Amino acid sequence: DAGITQSPRHKVTETGTPVTLRCHQTENHRYMYWYRQDPGHGLRLIHYSYGVKDTDKGEVSDGYSVSRSKTEDFLLTLESATSSQTSVYFCAISESVVNTEAFFGQGTRLTVV
Amino acid sequence: AQSVTQLGSHVSVSEGALVLLRCNYSSSVPPYLFWYVQYPNQGLQLLLKYTSAATLVKGINGFEAEFKKSETSFHLTKPSAHMSDAAEYFCAVRGGDNFNKFYFGSGTKLNVKP
């Protein structure tokens, strides 16, 4: 299995509070991704990174920010959590553009109450 | 942006029957194509991938998929379903407008009846 660790695995937080999810990889892969998974929507891309300090938005980036100061860590921050951000969040990594798949972490279940 | 369409959010087959899960993508430029499987409370695992070599791709657990450029399709099949195949399956595309991104379909839940 690819070395990807998401933390925390479960979190309950209150509306309006900031929340940070962490993704840590030991594979030295260039690309890192944050997705959210909701029933009927599959996986939707929030943000991704194509190198240290290089990030870009995905399709559902509003209300989220990311940072990547080291190759191995990719942080997702919910600036002010809302109930609509209750979801399962997955981190994924990929080595390069050509010929390579994404490897996924085990997910973080976030509940905003 | 790329779009990925999986026909049928739920598919039910009998054990031993053919499994066919459909996937169509929108890109006019052939992308990289993938099928993933997700078991409850787990992350996604790669079943197989198409990367412009053979159009018929074999994956793990007896699954295979055929890339058809003219139909912009990448359907997943397995000749004989097993109870352990019950899971959710996602088709994914890398490329089209942006090869940095992976785009996922909405998923198909496969139920296998004894």
Contact yes or no for A23/A55 (Cβ under 8 A): no
> CA A81, CA A99: separation in Å to the nearest integer?
36
Q: What's the pLDDT band for B98 if we cut at 50, 70, 90?
A: confident
Q: What's the pLDDT band for B25 if we cut at 50, 70, 90?
A: very high
Instruction: Give B104's strand partners.
Output: B92
> CA A93, CA A91: separation in Å to the nearest integer?
7
**Does pLDDT of B9 surpass 90?**
yes
pLDDT, tens only, A46-102: 999 999 999 999 999 999 999 999 999 999 999 999 999 999 999 999 998 876 899
Kindly report the backbone phi and psi dihedral angles of residue B69, in degrees, each rounded to the nearest multiple of 5, phi listed first: -60, -40
Structure tokens at B62: 């007896």
Indicate the DSSP class of residue B97: T
Q: What's the pLDDT band for A108 if we cut at 50, 70, 90?
A: very high
State mean pLDDT over B105-111: 95
> CA A52, CA A30: separation in Å to the nearest integer?
8
**Does pLDDT of B103 surpass 70?**
yes
The whole-number pLDDT of residue A99 equals: 65
Contacts of A35 in chain B (CB under 8 A): 104
Instruction: Give B68's strand partners.
Output: B73
> CA B16, CA B18: separation in Å to the nearest integer?
7
Whether B45 has its CB under 8 Å from any CB of chain A: the answer is yes
What 3-state class would DSSP assign to B14?
Answer: strand
Contact assignment for B92 to A102 by CB distance below 8 Å: yes
pLDDT, tens only, B50-83: 977 788 999 999 999 999 988 999 999 999 999 9
> CA A74, CA A107: separation in Å to the nearest integer?
14
Whole-number mean pLDDT of chain B?
A: 92
Contact assignment for A103 to B46 by CB distance below 8 Å: yes
> CA B29, CA B46: separation in Å to the nearest integer?
23
Contacts of A43 in chain B (CB under 8 A): 44, 90, 104
Whether B14 has its CB under 8 Å from any CB of chain A: the answer is no
Whether B9 has its CB under 8 Å from any CB of chain A: the answer is yes
